[in-house]
Copies of this chain bind each other. A is one copy, B any other.
Amino acid sequence: MTRWFEDIVLDEVFSLGSHNFEADDMVRFAALYDPQSLHTDREAAQHSQFGGLVASGWHIASVAHRKMVDALFAEEERLRTLGHEPGLSGPSPGVNSMDFPAPVRPGDVVSFRLVVTNKRHSNTIPGWGLLFNRLTGTNEQGQLVYEANLVGFSKLRDYRMPWWQKLLQALTRVPIIGPLLARRA
């Protein structure tokens, strides 16, 4: 999120737009990262359990991520044109779950949405918070095709580091005792 941790409202739905899954893109991705015939070969895929070509789950997850990144950049741009300073998001420490409840087939147009389901201050990085994001993809028939629960970092706007933490941070730059302290952070 490009909003500051304090400004993030739980359960607000962000529409990330939609993506048309084209057969060529599905095959191109799968040829590199998931070369199973149900993802790469239209003919052979007809004899698979899906009766035709379907997108690799990793392709769906990667496209969903792209939609999220694009939306974050657009929101950042929007905030800047309004004269606001956008918040800062950090790298994602991981993914809590990913599900693919229905297949994505060539020509399927999937709409992606993002909801922050929970947030809390980080226990390990002062001045940062953790966001628990649910990212979903739904096809034109309203079927859920992707659901991921992701964790992200978001910076606190109003954070002021206490004096003892500043001291601790300065001490981690001192030889010998620094590495010992850093290990505990």
A108 to B148, CA, bound (A): 28
CB 8 Å contact bits of A61-94 with B (1 = contact, 0 = none) = 1110110010000000000000000000011111
Q: Once the chains bind, are B63 and A33 in contact (CB under 8 Å)?
A: yes
Q: Once the chains bind, are A66 and B35 in contact (CB under 8 Å)?
A: yes
Which A10-69 residues have a C-beta within 8 angstroms of B? 32-36, 38, 49-50, 56-58, 61-63, 65-66, 69
Q: Given contacts A32-B66, A33-B63, A34-B66, are A94 and B98 in contact (CB under 8 A)?
A: yes
Chain B residues near A50 (CB-CB < 8 A): 91
Q: Given contacts A32-B66, A33-B62, A65-B33, are A49 and B91 in contact (CB under 8 A)?
A: yes
